[in-house]
Chain A
Amino acid sequence: MNIIVCLKQVPATTQVRIDPQTNNLIREGIESIINPYDTYALEEGVRLRERFGGKVTAVSMGPPQAESALREAISLGADEAVLLCDRAFAGSDTLATAYTLARAMNKLGDYDLIICGRQTLDGDTGQVGPELSQMLDVPCVAYVSQIEDVADGALRARRMVEDGYEVIESPLPAVITVVKEISTPRLPSLRGIARSKSAAIPVWGAGDLALEPEKTGLAGSPTRVINVYSPQRTCQGEILEGDPAEQVECLIGRLKDAGLI
Chain B
Amino acid sequence: MRQDDFKGIWVFAEQRNGRVKDVACELLARGRELADALGTDLSAVCFGHRVAGADRLIAHGADRVYMVDSQELADNREDLYAGQLAELIRQHRPEIVLAGATPFGRAFIPRVAAALGTGLTADCTALDIDAEKRLLVQTKPGYGGNVMAVIVCPEARPQMATVRPRVFRKSVPEAARKGEVIGVDFDRRRITSRTKLLTFVEEIAETVRIEEADIIVAGGRGLVKEESFQMVKDLASALGAAVGATRAAVDEGWAPYSCQIGQTGKTVCPKLYIAIGVSGAVQHLVGMQTSDVIVAINDDPHAPIFEVADYGIVGDLFKVVPLLTEKLKK
Q: Which residues of B contact A198 (CB under 8 A)?
A: none
Give the distance in Å from the alpha carbon of A124 to the alpha carbon of B145 in the complex. 9
- Residue picked from B147, B204, B215, B316, most chain A C-beta under 10 Å: B147
Min distance, Cβ B318 to any Cβ of chain A, angstroms: 10
Contacts of A95 in B (CB 8 A): 113-114, 117-120
The interface stretch among A50-58, A67-75, A79-87, A161-169 is A161-169
Chain A 127-150 interface mask (CB, 8 Å, partner B; 1/0) = 111111111000111110000000
- Given A169-B195, A247-B320, A163:B143 Cβ within 8 A: no
Known: A16-B143, A261-B328. 20 other contacts (CB 8 A): A25-B147, A126-B106, A126-B122, A133-B111, A140-B78, A142-B107, A159-B103, A160-B103, A161-B200, A162-B211, A222-B119, A222-B154, A224-B153, A226-B137, A239-B301, A240-B312, A244-B319, A252-B328, A254-B311, A261-B215
Q: Does B144 contact A (CB under 8 A)?
A: yes
Please classify how large the interface on chain B is, using the bins under 10, 10 to 19, 20 to 34, 35 or more.
35 or more
- Known pairs A127-B122, A225-B149, A235-B307; A139 contacts B195 (CB<8 A): yes
Q: Which residues of B contact A (CB under 8 A)?
A: 78-79, 82, 102-104, 106-108, 110-111, 113-115, 117-123, 137, 140-156, 194-204, 211, 215, 239, 257-258, 263-264, 266, 271-272, 282-283, 293-296, 301, 304, 306-316, 319-320, 323-324, 327-328
Main secondary structure of the interface of B (DSSP, over half): mixed
A222 to B203 CA separation, bound complex (whole angstroms): 39
Q: In the complex the two chains form, what is the Cα distance from A121 to B142 in whole Å?
A: 8
Which residues on A are within 8 Å of B, measured CB to CB?
A: 11, 14-18, 25, 93-95, 98, 118, 121-135, 139-143, 156, 159-171, 177, 179, 181, 221-231, 233-235, 237-240, 244-245, 247-249, 251-252, 254-255, 258, 260-261
Select one of B119, B307, B313 contacting A251, CB under 8 A: B313
Across-interface contacts of B301 in A (CB, < 8 A): 239
